[in-house]
């Protein structure tokens, strides 16, 4: 009997074998298509990369109607906000504000534009929707989970079965900055006992993935493809969270040993479940990226995706130093993050900077104005390149090699 396709917890669509076995692996396409309105990858003909082995075990993420509707509503607000943002930009330009008339100082520019937009209905609506969406997204996701707790909890609490490991050192020291409520996430990254699932599946995939320009999962694959080599043997993903970029690394480098480091226990627990459900032997560790405690020279590729803007500048530099220490001679570092402010026009900078304030991104400006190429060179990297991908110049790639 032919069975309907299913989506695994990483969003890729596969087809179950006729016998429906959940014990053995099957072969299926890894889809790198656009993200649909539900936040899932669409299997678009011609966009499958290659055949990989995946497990047929998957978390059932079907939600009650109310939970689905509320998450979709928040996602739709994001789409409306994207339209309003374009109208706001038009209103700014119509008031004679541009690269020639806007001041350089970002705080003064904020006051300049705010004053000019006092009579802009589009701006007030845009700001209201943005604040409401950010303030209620975590609550909506928590509620959606609670409506399905009886079905989800047994799947999320199953004893680890599979090749993935999770190590939590007893004396790990988590940096103070990490306890911020980034993205206005209620309680922070460990603010719920199942935050890994809630953030990775309900928020990141169903809401952010449905609204973010360019496709957040496609962009992860693009960042991984910027690595100078394809023959790495041991890779470290700094700030791996629930494993979305780790997944992209697994697809790009199927023969490499994959390690992940993150400060969030809840995110790592879900990443381990994802890896085990797919037969991926990830080595996950709850350690800060600035001080992992791993042996020097133990990796040939150290990388991260959209991590650096969550760090103050001194922590970014410390992360680069740690990456340099962890790499073997000749190894590569590749860090991807948000577009540099100097690559954007003044209005785009203001739109991004003001949004970051509402999103509780305390280090966004500090990070987005940091010269990452210079920071990499200062710790010893050579052949350093720093550049953005595509028309949006996003993500911003900084890569370098450890001499040797």
Task: Kindly report, residue by residue over 100-117, the tens digit of the pLDDT.
Answer: 999 999 999 999 999 999
Q: In the block, which residue shows the tokens 């300049």?
A: 112
CB 274 within 8 A of CB 243: yes
- Give the model's pLDDT for residue 18: 29
What pLDDT is stored for residue 212 in this prediction? 85
The whole-number average pLDDT for the span 194-203 is: 95
**CATH 3.40.50.150 residue spans of the chain:** 160-183+215-343+363-401
Task: Give residue 58's pLDDT.
Answer: 54
Determine the average pLDDT of the residues in 58-64: 80
Per-residue pLDDT at 360:
87
pLDDT in tens, 146-165: 999 999 999 999 898 999 99
How many residues belong to the chain? 404
Q: Which long-range contacts (CB under 8 A, 24 or more apart) does 72-79 make?
A: 72/37, 72/206, 73/140, 74/133, 74/136, 74/137, 74/140, 74/207, 75/37, 75/39, 75/206, 75/207, 75/210, 75/211, 77/129, 77/132, 77/133, 78/133, 78/207, 78/210, 78/211, 79/210, 79/211
pTM score above 0.75: yes
Q: Report which secondary-structure segment, H or E, holds 91.
A: helix 65-94
Give me the pLDDT at residue 59, please: 76
Indicate the pLDDT class of residue 13, thresholds 50, 70 and 90: very low
**Rounded-to-integer distance, Cα 109 and Cα 122, Å:** 19
Q: Compare 149 and 28 and report the one with higher pLDDT.
A: 149
Counting residues of the chain whose pLDDT is more than 70, the rounded percentage is 86
pLDDT of residue 52: 32
Question: Residue 46 above 60 pLDDT?
Answer: no
Fold of the domain spanning 160-183+215-343+363-401:
Rossmann fold (3.40.50)
> According to the model, what pLDDT value does residue 184 have?
84
């Amino acid at each position: 009997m032919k069975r309907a396709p299913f989506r695994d917890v990483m969003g890729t669509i596969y087809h179950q074998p006729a016998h429906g076995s959940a014990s053995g692996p099957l072969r299926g396409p890894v889809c790198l298509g656009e993200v649909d309105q539900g936040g899932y990858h669409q299997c678009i003909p011609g966009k499958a990369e290659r055949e990989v082995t995946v497990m047929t075990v998957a978390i059932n993420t079907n939600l009650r109607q109310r939970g689905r509707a509320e998450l979709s509503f928040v996602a739709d607000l994001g789409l409306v906000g994207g339209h309003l943002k374009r109208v706001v930009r038009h209103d700014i330009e119509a008031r004679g504000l541009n690269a020639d008339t806007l001041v350089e100082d970002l705080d003064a520019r904020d006051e300049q534009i705010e004053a000019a937009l006092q009579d802009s209905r589009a701006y007030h609506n845009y700001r209201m929707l943005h604040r409401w969406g950010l303030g209620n997204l975590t609550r909506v996701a928590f509620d959606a989970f609670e409506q399905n707790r009886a079905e989800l909890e047994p799947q999320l609490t199953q004893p680890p079965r599979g090749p993935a490991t999770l190590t939590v050192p007893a004396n790990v020291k988590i940096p103070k900055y990490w306890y911020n409520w980034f993205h206005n996430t209620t309680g922070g990254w460990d603010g719920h006992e199942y935050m890994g699932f809630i953030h990775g599946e309900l928020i990141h995939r169903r809401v952010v993935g449905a609204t973010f320009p360019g496709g957040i999962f496609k962009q992860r694959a693009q960042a991984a493809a910027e690595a100078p080599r394809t023959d790495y043997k041991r890779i470290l993903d700094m700030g791996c969270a629930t494993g979305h970029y780790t997944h992209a690394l697994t697809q790009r480098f199927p023969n490499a040993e994959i390690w992940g480091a993150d400060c969030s226990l809840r995110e790592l627990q879900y990443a381990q479940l994802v890896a085990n459900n797919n037969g991926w032997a990830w080595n996950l560790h709850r350690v800060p990226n600035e001080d992992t405690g791993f042996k020097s020279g133990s990796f040939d590729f150290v990388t991260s995706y959209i991590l650096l803007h969550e760090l103050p500048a001194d922590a970014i530099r410390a992360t680069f130093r740690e990456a340099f220490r962890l790499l073997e001679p000749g190894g590569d570092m590749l860090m991807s993050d948000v577009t540099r402010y100097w690559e954007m026009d003044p209005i785009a900078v203001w739109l991004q900077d003001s949004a970051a304030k509402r999103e509780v991104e305390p280090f966004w400006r500090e990070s987005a104005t940091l010269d990452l190429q210079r920071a990499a060179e200062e710790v010893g990297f050579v052949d350093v390149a720093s550049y953005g991908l595509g028309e949006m110049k996003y993500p911003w790639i900084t890569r370098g090699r450890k001499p040797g």
